[in-house]
Amino acid sequence: MRIDAAGWLSECGHLSVERLPSPNFDERASGDIDLLVIHNISLPPDEFGGDGVQRLFTNTLDRNAHPYYQTIPEGRVSSHFYIRREGQLIQFVSVLQRAWHAGVSVWQGRARCNDFAIGIELEGSDNVPFTDAQYAVLHELTLALRAAFPIKGIAGHSHIAPARKTDPGSYFDWQRYLTRLAG
């Protein structure tokens, strides 16, 4: 995997990347892109395999399709990447652009993490373990992003917005993920 000059991930070997451009992005502030933020998401909550997340990130979610969708605050959100349970990888926003995934956030004294972070969503919730396929794709994606950017940190959404967020949750195996990266 590699990041092209426009900030999109290219296919590499057995891993393919679907591009599903989101309109929910803007220009980054100047400075290094040096943080990865790991999230979890499922729409409806704890239901996997549907297209709710893709529709949310592309502003095509039918709020009448499920009662839960009517509780989602109006607004525009996105992420750079989304890794499905079976390992399918979708990119919504060029990594050179600011995706709207972190909200009000602070990392190591720096506010507005969207300015300098890349958001990676895992299809999941705080209530279930993530899959081997997701960890494998997350590992490869992290390596590609580290090769392209001076990544100094990796945090969960809960680390940068602890008063509001719990993801990626207690079922995300940080030791497994970080140990494999170190090896």
List of domains in the chain: 2-182 (3.40.80.10)
Q: What's the pLDDT at 183?
A: 78
Q: What's the pLDDT at 10?
A: 86
Closest listed residue to residue 82, CA positions, set 35, 130, 13 = 130
Closest listed residue to residue 80, CA positions, set 151, 165, 159 = 151
Distance linking the first and last C-alpha atoms of the chain: 18
- For residue range 157-169, list pLDDT tens digits in order: 999 999 999 999 9
Could you give the CA distance from residue 93 to residue 151 in angstroms, rounded to a whole number? Answer: 18
The answer, as to whether pTM is greater than 0.95, is: yes
Burial of 70 (0-12, 13-18, 19+ CB in 10 A): exposed
Sign of torsion over alpha carbons 154, 130, 177, 54:
negative
Cis peptide before 45 (omega within 30 of 0): no
- For residue range 32-47, list pLDDT tens digits in order: 999 999 999 999 999 9
Q: What residues act catalytically?
A: 121
Q: What's the pLDDT at 163?
A: 95
Q: Residue 99: pLDDT above 80?
A: yes
